[in-house]
Amino acid sequence: MIDSLILQQGSGWRAQAEVFDEIFFVFLALGTLVGVVVVAYTLWNAYKYRDDGGEPKDDFDAPVVGELPTGQGGPKAKKLFLSFGLSAIVVISLVVYAYGLLLYVEEGPDTDGEGDIEIVVEGYQFGWDYLYPNGHTETNELVVPADARIDLAVTSRDVWHNFGSSELRFKADSIPGETSHTWFSVTSEEVEAQGGEATFLVECFELCGSGHSAMDGQITVLPQDEWEEWYEGTQTDDEDDDNDTDNDDGNGDEGGD
């Protein structure tokens, strides 16, 4: 596991999108550097050892087909084994670096349970239902706070779906009878950059029927205080709806009597 001091900055921690962007940039930069060095060295050797039509020098040590340098004497063998060694170091370093970051993406940041929110996501043809810890349900719009780890338990009520957001770099299978787990987070800086309310597109990434292409949703991210006010309001609205339902049932019974 990569040390949390490396992955976390100050009191915050990194979103999946930031981690994947960093991995992409590191591999792109290093790959470009290695490519430039290899191509430049190849072209230089092609020019240096070009056939100029003259006789080869007496000390010219030409390679022999099928013969592997042993590393004992001669500059050719030293260059060959040096290139093997450098290549191994670069590849192993990249593997260790990327694996550590991917472990972080898989397990998520350690928040000690503070500020975590677990939401159940249920896919259906052709939409998404979100069940909050207080029992409130939203359809097709997931409203969450900034600077919090949002844990998602993803399932389906009918066929296979795949819930995710390309902008936030996460997705999870939505399978009937099974539950997939993933997480994401959005910083308050990102929310402020979008004018105080950040929105991200949700899509189904598994062909699930004729309405698959229209199975879109939205993640709305609010500042922490605004989200808490919204969340408290959902509980009040749900209680009012329950009371209205009870009253309607009572009136119906009286009418029957």
CA angle 14/134/115 to nearest 5° reads 25
Q: How many CB atoms lie within 10 A of CB 174?
A: 28
Q: What share of the chain is helix, strand, coil (3-state, %, to 5)?
A: 45, 25, 35
Q: What is the pLDDT of residue 10?
A: 35
Q: 79-121, pLDDT tens digit by residue?
A: 777 888 888 998 899 899 888 888 877 777 776 655 578 999 9
Q: What is the pLDDT of residue 8?
A: 40
Distance of CA 112 to the CA centre of its chain: 22
Q: What is the pLDDT of residue 60?
A: 66
DSSP string for 173-201: EE-BT--EEEEE---HHHHHHTTS-EEEE
Q: 133-159, pLDDT tens digit by residue?
A: 999 999 999 999 998 889 999 999 999
Q: 209-253, pLDDT tens digit by residue?
A: 999 999 999 999 999 999 999 999 887 655 555 555 555 555 555
